[in-house]
Structure 1
C-alpha cells in the first residue's frame, strides 16, 4: 500500500501516480512505498496552507488555543514513542536508544513551543517612546504566513519539530517536505496532526525529491518563508529561490566543527566527548566535532586511548541491543564517505583505524569508525564536511595556534574546547567564530537555547525563543492622538 501525501487534512496520492521506495540501510530491503509529489502536488499543498492562513481560524486563535493542539501532538508522540522510534531506526539506521532520545526530544519541542504560545497571550504591549506627544506607537508581532519547511535525513522527526512546532506556535501554516531518504516519521507527524484535529491546511506533508518537490516549494510565490536544514549547496539554491520573491529565509547548513583539547584535560573525558562528538548518529551530524585539535603534550597519549576505546564500539543493525554505530543512511552517502576516506589516504593523512566495511556485514551500509591522525590543515578532509563516522586529528603548540586552526574554516556552526582552566575556556570560547560553543563537552543540544551558525553554516537561529521569533513579523502601529489639526496642507 502506497503511503500518501497529506494535503488540506486529506490523504492523497500524487496526482501523477508516481511513487518511490524507502530503503532500510541495515539490510537494503524496501520497507515502504511512498507517493512522489510533483509540482502540481506542491501547488495544492501551498494553496491549502495559504487558504488556512488567510481565511482559516489558525492565525486568529489565542496562544493558549494553539498550545492545546501542540500539547496534543506531544502527548500522542509520547504514547507512540516505541513504534515511532523503531520506524526511525528502520528508515535512518541509527541505534534504537538514539532514536528514542530523538523522539522524546521531538515531543519536548512541541511542549516547549506550547509554553511559548501561551506566554504570548500574557505578553505586555510594547510601547515605543516618541519625541512627539501628539502620537503614540506600539509594536505588535504577527505570524509570517505560509512556511515552506525542508528537512534533512539525519534527524528526521526531530528536525521536523524544530520547524513545525515554532511555526504553528506563532500562528503560521506549514508545508513540510521531508527528505525522500527518510520520509516515514514525517508522515507519522501528519497522522498525529490529523488525530488531534489540527484544522485542515495548517500542516501539509509532501514527500518527494528535491528537484520535483523541494525546488517547486522554494520557488512558490505564495510561500512567505522558507526554513531549510541541509547542505550548503542546496541551502544556496534555496536562498536564491527565496530571493526571487524576497521571501524570509532561515538556513541551517553544514559544519566542520573544531574541538580543542588542552594538555590539562582528563584523557578519559576527552576521549568520551571525542567519541560522542563524531560517532553519535554515525557522524551524520551537521555540528559533529570532526576536527580535533590536541595539545602536543597530550597528543600521543590521547591517540592511544582513543584507539583503544574506538575498537570497543559495537557496530550493527540499530535494533540490536548494545549497538552504538548503525549503518549510514543510504548507498549514496556510504559511497561519498568511502570516497572521502580514500582522498584522505591519498593526501597523506595517517589512517589509524577504520575506513572500510566491517567484515561481518555483506549487506547494509556499514562503515568502521575511522580516525585520521597528523592531518594537514590544507587537506580536503580537514576542510570539507564528510558527514560520516570519520574524525581528523591534529596537534597544536599553543592557544593562539589552536584558535587560528579552529577558525580557519568557511563553516562556523559549532566548536568545543576542553580544559580544566575555566578562564582559558571562557577566553577561547569568545574567540571561536561559531554559533554554538561547548565547554568540556560536545554535542548536547537543548530546546531552550539558540541553534545556528556563522559564515557558510547558515542564517538565523532555531530553538528557544529565537526559533519562535523567526516565524513572526514585527509591525509598528502609530496613531495620531491629538485633537489639533495636522495643518500641513489644510491650514486651521
Structure 2
C-alpha cells in the first residue's frame, strides 16, 4: 500500500538510509496494512539541506508561476480523489463519503492559496518629510517544519503546505504515523505539478525525535503543528530556544448552547450529525451540550434517536455512517469517561458500550449521556470520540460562565432564533470560531484556529498566509 510513499526528500522518494520501517494498522480490523519509512537523523539532515536549497529557488520564483503550480496541485488532487479517499478510509476507518469530502477540501486549500499567492500586499506609509519614503513589504519566513494529526490526514497537511508554498516558503511535512498515505499522495501531487525539488519534503517516523531534530536546527524558521494541547506545549518549548515563529491548532472542548427559543428537535438533529462525524474525532467537534431546561427533554430524545439510528462498520462498506475510532488508547479513554459520568449520576440515553457485533477493531457505539454534572471527566477533558454529554441551564450568565470555564478556546456553537442571544453569545464565548445555528465551520476561505490553550495563529482564509510571512519596514531617503 505504501510502496510509493517512503521519504520524499530533494524531489525523490527513497527508503530511510538505515532501512528502518514502522507498521501501519487498519483500525477496523487491527491488521497491518503496510509499512512506512522510519527516518533517522541522517535522513532529517538531508531533508533540512534540501529544504534550504529549495527555499532559495522558490522564494525567487515569480508569483504567477508559483500560483500556477499550486493550482495544478489542486487539480491533481481532484483527479485522484477516489484513490486518495480510499487510502484515507482504510487508514482512519472513516466512511468513504467523509474521506472523499476531506480530499476535496484539501484540494480547496491549494486552489485558495494559489489565488492568495498573487495577493500578498505591502503598505505605503505617508512620510513626515518630502525627501523620505516609508513602506512595508512581506517576505517568506523561510523553511517550515509542519506537523499534522491523524484525524484529518489530508486536510491538515494541505492547509500548511499550501499556505507555505503561497508565501514562498519551503516545507518539511511530518504526517501522523497512523495515517500517512493521504499526505503522501498530496506530496506526490506537488511533485507532479512541477514544484521544484527541495521545496516540499516528506518524512515519517518517530514524532518526538523528528520534532526535536527539525525544530532545533537553525535552518527551520517556522513551525506549524496540529495536535493535542500537551504536544503543542512541548513543541512551543522546543521552538522557544531558537525563537522560531510558531502557529498551532490544538485541542478543544466545544461548548454548545441551545436556548429555549431554538427549535429543539432540529438543533438536536444537527448536533448529533456533527457530533458523530469522523467518530467524534474532530478538534472542533461539539463536545459539551448546554440545553435550556425548557427544551431539554425534546432535545435529548431527538439526539438519542439519531444516535441509535447510525450504522457502524468499516468505512469502505456500503451505507456505513460511522467507522471505528483510530486507535486503542482513544477507545480506552472513551470507556473511562462513560463509566465516570455514570458513576457521577449521568443517564445513558443511547449507546455506552462496545458494540457486540464487532469482535475486532476499535468500535464504540454513538453514545449520549443525559444530565451530566459539571465535575464529570467528560465535561472537563476533551472527549475525542463518539460521546455526547448533555447538561441543562436556565440563566444566560451561568451558561456563559460554564462554557468559558475551561482553558480551551477553539470553537463554540449557539442555537437560537433570537438575534440578541445570537449576538451576545457569539461575542461572549471565549473561542476562536463560533457557529450560530450552524456547525460546519471549516472552509478554505475562512480563518481556522483558537485562543487560550487551543492554540495561536490561523490557518485558511486571507489571514492564514500571514503566519508564513515576515513584514519588513523600509525607510528610504531620496
**Per-residue CA distance 1:372-402 (angstroms, 9 max, x = gap):** 2211112221011020011111000122222
Distance 1:235 1:14 in 2: 27
Query: 1:93·1:327 contact (CA, 8 Å) conserved in 2?
Result: yes
CA distance in 2, matches of 1:333, 1:170: 36
Displacement after TM superposition at 1:131 (Å): 2.0
| CA displacement 1:141-166 (0-9 Å, x = unmatched) | 00010000000000001101110001
Give the structure-2-normalised TM-score.
0.97
SS at match of 1:326: coil
1:444 positional shift: 3.0
Which secondary structure state, in structure 2, belongs to the residue aligned with residue 311 of structure 1? Answer: helix
CA contact (8 A) 2:269 2:302 kept: no
Distance between the aligned counterparts of 2:321 and 2:454, measured in 1? 28
**Residue equivalent to 1:398:** 395
Q: 1:212 aligns with which of 204, 209, 213?
A: 209
Higher Rg: 1
Q: Is the 8 A contact 1:351 1:371 kept in 2?
A: yes
Matches within 5 A, 1:378-457: 378-457=375-454
Q: CA deviation at 1:215?
A: 2.9
Could you report, residue by residue, the CA deviation over 1:411-460 in whole angstroms, capped at 9, with x for unpaired residues? 01000000111221111111111100000122332211111111100011
Structure 1, unpaired ranges of 5+: 482-492
Q: Which of 243, 247, 252 does residue 249 from structure 2 map onto? A: 252
Q: State how far apart, in whole Å, the 1-side matches of 2:273 and 2:199 are.
A: 37
- 1:68-467 mapped onto 2 (5 Å cutoff): 68-120=68-120, 123=121, 126-467=123-464
State the partner residue of 1:10.
12
Compute the displacement of 1:330 (Å).
1.7
Q: CA deviation at 1:292?
A: 0.3
Contact 1:179-1:209 within 8 A present in 2 as well? no
Give the whole-Å Cα distance in 1 for the aligned partners of 2:116 and 2:336.
45
Residue number in structure 2 paired with 1:488: none
Question: 1:277, 1:290 within 8 Å by CA — same for their partners in 2?
Answer: no
The question of whether the paired residues in 2 share the 8 Å contact of 1:256 and 1:291 is answered with yes
CA distance in 1, matches of 2:370, 2:117: 48
- The one-character-per-residue Cα deviations of 1:281-302 (angstroms, maximum 9, x if unpaired) are 1110111110000000011121
Distance 1:179 1:142 in 2: 30
Relative to the length of structure 1, the TM-score reads 0.94
Between 420-429 and 431-440, the greater mean CA deviation after superposition:
420-429
Contact 2:67 2:114 in 1 (8 A): yes
| CA positional deviation for 1:223 | 0.4
Match of 2:473, SS state, is: strand
Paired residues of 1:37 and 1:212 also in contact (CA < 8 A): no
**What is the rounded CA distance, in whole Å, between the counterparts of 1:212 and 1:334 in structure 2?**
26
Segments ≥4 residues shifted beyond 3 Å: none
Hey, what's the Cα distance between the residues in 2 that align with 1:262 and 1:290? 17
